[in-house]
Amino acid sequence: MEVALRGVWHSYDGRTRALRGVELVFAGPGIYVVLGPNGAGKTTLLKIASLILKPSGGSVLVDGVDFWGLSEGERDVIRRRVAYVHDKPILLRGSARENAALGMRIRGEVDEALLEHYMRRYGLTDVEGLPASRLSAGQAKAVTLVRALTVRPKLLALDEPFAFLDDSRARTLVEDIARIAEGGGTVLVATHYMYRELRDVVSYVVEIISGEVRSVAKLR
């Protein structure tokens, strides 16, 4: 799944530009790390590339097709192949397990075996029946990761994915995103620092500062 940003810019208030004329292609498969300081535009770039935010200007092409020129139904079909994980966990009312299954439920089918697999991998089986409101920050973040991984996305976008995670869960996440890339998927990671375990699996590093892409380096 290739996502290309052509002359993309975005403003939230009509005055200040969060992104400025971005030209960037996530050709996949592989892992793309978007690096930059706070306020650089990483989250905005990630949301536009993962098709949940329409840019103020420019084009977003998915496999060569103008995504925002498609009908709403056509866009929804493509979005089913994409999963986005926010930097801060967003959970609904219900148990940890119900929240973890939400992505599959929205898509119409819950694979209980796959859900159980990821709940075990992220150390959530002991808390799966707890209300979401009683989870720790690390447990809540793990639930949102499981929710994304279980839909088997072709494009997985992760905003500051290692925030709130302990080392064990962080290493597990690196293993899982490496497996997605090896299987032909594309993973986008926005972060202000390069997590040490991530260095060995990254394909490209994109540097963004003040809303502008300054460099793109191929690592493997």
Residue with tokens 């839909």: 151
Check whether 188 has a pLDDT greater than 80: yes
What would the pLDDT profile of 131-158 be if each residue is shown by its tens digit? 999 999 999 999 999 999 999 999 999 9
Please provide the average confidence, as pLDDT, over all residues in the chain. 96
Q: Please report which confidence band the pLDDT of residue 197 belongs to, taking 50, 70 and 90 as the band edges.
A: confident
Q: Which string of b and e fits 36-57 if b means at least 16 CB within 10 Å?
A: beeebbbbbbbbbbbbebebee
- Other C-beta atoms within 10 Å of 154: how many? 18
Banded pLDDT at 103 (limits 50, 70, 90): very high
**Where do the DSSP E strands lie in 52-98?**
57-62, 65-66, 82-85
Report pLDDT for 28: 77
pLDDT in the model for residue 110: 94
pLDDT of residue 193: 84
The full set of domain ranges for the chain reads: 3-81+154-218, 92-152
Please report which confidence band the pLDDT of residue 196 belongs to, taking 50, 70 and 90 as the band edges: confident
Per-residue pLDDT of 8-67, as tens digits, reads 999 999 999 999 999 999 997 999 999 999 999 999 999 999 999 999 999 999 999 999
Neighbours of 99 (CB within 10 A): 23
pTM of the model: 0.95
pLDDT of 179 > 80? The answer is: yes
Residues 6+ apart with CB under 8 A from 109: none
Q: Which CATH number is 3-81+154-218 given?
A: 3.40.50.300
